[in-house]
Chains A and B, each alone.
Chain A
Amino acid sequence: MDEHVERELTERIQAAAGSRTPLRIRGGGTKDFYGLALEGDILDTRGCRGIVAYEPTELFVTARAGTRLEDIERALAEHGQMLAFEPPHFGAAATVGGCVASGLSGPRRASAGAVRDFVLGVKLVDGHGQILRFGGQVMKNVAGYDVSRLMAGALGTLGLLLEVTLKVLPRPAAERTLRLEMPEDQALAALNRWAGQPLPISGSCVFGQEVMIRLSGAAAAVAKARESLGGELVSDGPAFWEELREQRLGFFGDGVPLWRLSLPSTTPPLGFPGEQLIEWGGALRWLHTWDRADRIRDAAVRAGGHATLFRGGGEEERRVIGVFQPLPTALADLHRRLKQTFDPAGILNRHRMYEAW
């Protein structure tokens, strides 16, 4: 049955490559909003689902790409484990394939790592219609290029993921959320200072004068850090971090274009008009603004980072300014050549990342 589904998907890609028909890879469709364009006939991955292998003592889970993320997280929770990069779902239908392809990570990213850091292996169909396997189920593996991690965040433009293997970690023994008050510049300074100390900070969020901090780890270490950081203990901590991860906090819903600025954590306040929310100890800044794309992108690049038009903006505007930060010429050429090697017919998620391909 599984082989049958894989064969069907592979044959569709082979046929599409032959006729140069664009295909739009789609799991639960919860991240349809993310990226530049949705072009082509839908290639639904949800027939390819199920956990293939989960070994709690080996710290990995292998699942078919169409497996629902929440099913995986539930299976892990039964063994006291988790996906430590805390992926956003953006809907109950979210699949693990989409999670890896979108490359998005949640509040724990700054301390635990991103989805790419947890990808151990993939099985994919490239644009030639060939099934390829890279990486595996072990944590240390330097044989061949690390194509598995390359798939994280590639938005399905290099291949259709059939199966992914992710490293998993134990859930922390204790977790507490604190609320503190301070202005943005002081909050940024404090977050960076704390990150340089052996404190078990696993999440941070600055909005207005309010600073939320999550502590995770051994009970004694969490208690001690809670004491040294001060602030007020929040009772509904887990709910807050979930709302933040899923972008259901009031901040996220106002219809103004939402920019995702990924910056060095020490970048001073940027001072754009509009509301801002800071995560990842200062390294991730969400900005609702009508300000001009080039001004936002220039500021991000000057600071050493980049800006993504995450949500909003009209279709035409998105096409003109692009969703992702434009790449310097040499890097853009290299991207084109890599795309060419994996998908010479240019059929997989065409124009999803950049207008050029």
Chain B
Amino acid sequence: MDATTTGEGNFTAVDGPRLVAALRGVLLADALLHAREDLVPYECDGLSAYRQVPLAVALPHDEAQLVAALKVCREHGAPVVARGAGTGLSGGAMPHARGVVVSLARFNRILRVDPLGRTAVVQPGVRNLAISEAAAPHGLYYAPDPSSQIACTIGGNVAENSGGVHCLKYGLTVHNVLRVRAVTLDGEALELGSAALDAPGFDLLALIHGSEGLLAVITEITVRLTPRPETAQVVMAAFDDAGRAAGSVAHIIAAGIIPAGLEMMDRKAVEAVEPFVHAGYPLDAEAILLCEADGTPEEVADEIAGVQEVMATSGAQDMWVSRSEAERLRFWAGRKAAFPAAGRVSPDYYCMDGTIPRRRLAEMLGAIAQMEKKHALRCMNVFHAGDGNLHPLILYDANLPGELERAEAFGAEILELSVALGGTITGEHGVGIEKIDQMCVQFAGPELEAFHRIKAAFDPAGLLNPGKAVPTLHRCAEFGRMHVHRGELKFPDLERF
């Protein structure tokens, strides 16, 4: 699709050759790509259904070069799309046809690890997992663990406010970052948050989290490190009714237990992954729950016993507790393979990311079962059940006439029901370009206008990632629907859960 047609800004006046020439004047030769063959690798992020080749890609080595490149873009009125590893699933880093991609790939240094203060100062292009690896010798790690953590960068994590399997207990990115340094399009460096636990003025650190590259370009991040738990164990439980499994989740929370992870898979998801991963999942269950406890051996033993008791009284038919680290990882392997498994059993799938209040899980599952009949498509369900974040995977075949449209309608119905049940259209993948129309379902005009005014306070020229995350009211008036192809999901080897 052509981003210049999304209705957010008109950039047709940008003079490509002059822009490239000006960028060449401020960037080293190895920091600027403008030949078409060099630009193509940047045409999309993890959501490859949406592609756009930019006019140029800047790969600055440091903040001064970044600021110089931004200044050129501002002078030429050219849109700027910041990019980390490009693993995002909502098209947030999709380039702009008349703009420049600023890759933070060279901001890849861990500047400091302070074991006593339990912080690390890192550049935005550092991979999520690399932080934990650097902290490991000190018995510390960086807690948020999005499924793409071996590849995704911390800058992207801040931009998307990434979650993960363990955020019920350890929080999202916003709970684990102390300070962000970012530059505005005007080249002003802003320090948001501080090396302490708070900062004077407004909580702009919270505002930059999940801002999807629309407010400023992040150049440095101070993260909080967490002591690594001594041990972890998983309970796997089988239920003959998905509603009962959902009820069990509520009972666990009601019992005062906040597990490190609490995941649910329905029968279709189990049937898809088990032949592929051999995780040892029961094939006759309607739903399974995976519940992880971590901490000291005493805490884990306590919690596992508590979880088993609750699960037994709330209708679990069978329970298995991991007896070794290998078995714990095997229990998780199936859950983590849900996305690739969907790809094995169906030519295409459409992954949703709604969040709903936990108590509505059974209702949502029932509704999805009805929608399967209505749209004549199958849907396998994997949930971050502990925090109500759903990833229904709608299975379809784009080569069969009408299936794609039915999948789109199915997905839109799930997202709209998520909002109606008191939830949200996106729990952790971000809005990007993918869900920009569904934003019109979740927010009314005055809230959207407030978002646009906030952006203008940071970026008066409106050049940072225009057309993403927040729809114009005009666009909402022309509400349309979008979709994802499995065949076009990049990084097929990355775990996605």
Interface residue ranges, A against B (CB under 8 Å): 55-59, 80, 103, 109-110, 113-114, 116-117, 126, 130-134, 136-147, 149-150, 152-154, 158, 169-171, 173, 189, 192-193, 195-200, 217-221, 223-224, 262-266, 280, 283-284, 303-306, 308, 324-328, 330-331, 334-335, 337-338, 340-342, 353-354
Nearest-neighbour CB distance to chain B for A313, whole angstroms, equals: 17
Given contacts A138-B357, A266-B116, contact A126 B299 (CB under 8 A): no
Is the pair A306, B207 in contact by a Cβ cutoff of 8 Å?
A: no
Closest CB pairs A-B (n = 5): A304-B195, A220-B298, A149-B206, A170-B256, A140-B427
Residues of B within 8 A of A306 (CB): 194, 196, 199-200
- Complex: A142 Cα to B92 Cα, angstroms: 13
Given contacts A138-B422, A146-B161, A196-B115, contact A218 B457 (CB under 8 A): no
Among residues 188 to 210 in chain B, which have CB atoms less than 8 Å away from a CB atom of chain A? 188-191, 194-204, 206-207, 209-210
Is the pair A198, B295 in contact by a Cβ cutoff of 8 Å?
A: yes
Q: Is B163 an interface position by the 8 A CB rule?
A: yes
Nearest-neighbour CB distance to chain B for A56, whole angstroms, equals: 6
Residues of A within 8 A of B250 (CB): 57-58
Is the pair B201, A324 in contact by a Cβ cutoff of 8 Å?
A: yes
Residues of B within 8 A of A154 (CB): 202-203
Is the pair A196, B453 in contact by a Cβ cutoff of 8 Å?
A: no
Closest to A283 in B: B197
- Complex: A193 Cα to B140 Cα, angstroms: 12
Q: From A140, A199, A200, name the one whose CB has the most chain B CB atoms within 10 angstroms.
A: A140
Given contacts A218-B302, A262-B194, contact A141 B424 (CB under 8 A): yes
- Complex: A139 Cα to B385 Cα, angstroms: 12
Residues of B within 8 A of A266 (CB): 114, 116-117
Given contacts A150-B206, A265-B117, A331-B201, contact A57 B427 (CB under 8 A): no
Q: Interface digits, B211-226 against A, CB 8 Å rule (1 contact, 0 not)?
A: 1000100000000000
Given contacts A136-B422, A146-B206, A146-B210, contact A330 B196 (CB under 8 A): no
Nearest-neighbour CB distance to chain B for A130, whole angstroms, equals: 5
Is the pair A331, B424 in contact by a Cβ cutoff of 8 Å?
A: no
Residues of B within 8 A of A145 (CB): 207, 210-211, 215, 451, 454, 470
Residues of B within 8 A of A330 (CB): 184, 188-190
Residues of B within 8 A of A136 (CB): 422-424
Q: Is B303 an interface position by the 8 A CB rule?
A: yes
Q: Is B376 an interface position by the 8 A CB rule?
A: no
Is the pair B139, A197 in contact by a Cβ cutoff of 8 Å?
A: yes
Is the pair B163, A158 in contact by a Cβ cutoff of 8 Å?
A: no
Show 18 A/B contacts (Cβ-Cβ < 8 Å), sorted by A. A58-B250, A58-B357, A80-B256, A139-B168, A143-B442, A144-B447, A145-B207, A145-B451, A153-B202, A192-B118, A220-B299, A266-B117, A284-B197, A303-B195, A306-B194, A331-B201, A337-B456, A341-B450
Is the pair B427, A141 in contact by a Cβ cutoff of 8 Å?
A: yes
Residues of A within 8 A of B167 (CB): 139-140
Given contacts A58-B359, A134-B447, A140-B384, contact A335 B470 (CB under 8 A): no
Q: From B189, B199, B204, B389, name the one whose CB has the most chain A CB atoms within 10 angstroms.
A: B199
Q: Is B86 an interface position by the 8 A CB rule?
A: no
Q: From B114, B161, B447, B470, name the one whose CB has the most chain A CB atoms within 10 angstroms.
A: B447
Nearest-neighbour CB distance to chain B for A165, whole angstroms, equals: 10
Closest to A223 in B: B298
- Complex: A47 Cα to B398 Cα, angstroms: 56
Nearest-neighbour CB distance to chain B for A197, whole angstroms, equals: 5
- Complex: A103 Cα to B210 Cα, angstroms: 21
Is the pair A171, B453 in contact by a Cβ cutoff of 8 Å?
A: no
Q: Is B243 an interface position by the 8 A CB rule?
A: no
Is the pair B423, A338 in contact by a Cβ cutoff of 8 Å?
A: no
Nearest-neighbour CB distance to chain B for A48, whole angstroms, equals: 19
Residues of B within 8 A of A158 (CB): 202
A134, A138, A262, A337: the one within 8 Å of B198 (CB): A262
A173, A195, A221, A224: the one within 8 Å of B118 (CB): A195
- Complex: A154 Cα to B228 Cα, angstroms: 34
- Complex: A169 Cα to B168 Cα, angstroms: 11
B163, B174, B359: the one within 8 Å of A146 (CB): B174
Q: Is B491 an interface position by the 8 A CB rule?
A: no
- Complex: A217 Cα to B191 Cα, angstroms: 35
A138, A144, A220: the one within 8 Å of B443 (CB): A144
Residues of A within 8 A of B298 (CB): 218, 220-221, 223-224
Is the pair A327, B201 in contact by a Cβ cutoff of 8 Å?
A: yes
Is the pair A150, B203 in contact by a Cβ cutoff of 8 Å?
A: yes
- Complex: A143 Cα to B171 Cα, angstroms: 17
A114, A170, A221: the one within 8 Å of B299 (CB): A221
Q: Interface digits, B72-86 against A, CB 8 Å rule (1 contact, 0 not)?
A: 000000000000000
Residues of B within 8 A of A354 (CB): 201
Residues of A within 8 A of B206 (CB): 116, 146, 149-150, 152
Among residues 99 to 130 in chain B, which have CB atoms less than 8 Å away from a CB atom of chain A? 114-119
Closest to A118 in B: B175
Q: Interface digits, B418-437 against A, CB 8 Å rule (1 contact, 0 not)?
A: 00001111111111000100
Given contacts A193-B116, A283-B197, A306-B196, contact A138 B207 (CB under 8 A): no
- Complex: A133 Cα to B356 Cα, angstroms: 17
Is the pair A132, B457 in contact by a Cβ cutoff of 8 Å?
A: no
Is the pair A196, B424 in contact by a Cβ cutoff of 8 Å?
A: no
- Complex: A132 Cα to B453 Cα, angstroms: 14
Closest to A53 in B: B422
- Complex: A340 Cα to B203 Cα, angstroms: 16
Closest to A154 in B: B202
Residues of B within 8 A of A328 (CB): 191
Residues of B within 8 A of A334 (CB): 190, 204, 457-458
Is the pair B196, A304 in contact by a Cβ cutoff of 8 Å?
A: yes
7 more CB-based (< 8 A) A-B contacts, given A136-B423, A138-B356, A154-B202: A58-B359, A139-B167, A143-B424, A146-B174, A149-B207, A158-B202, A305-B196
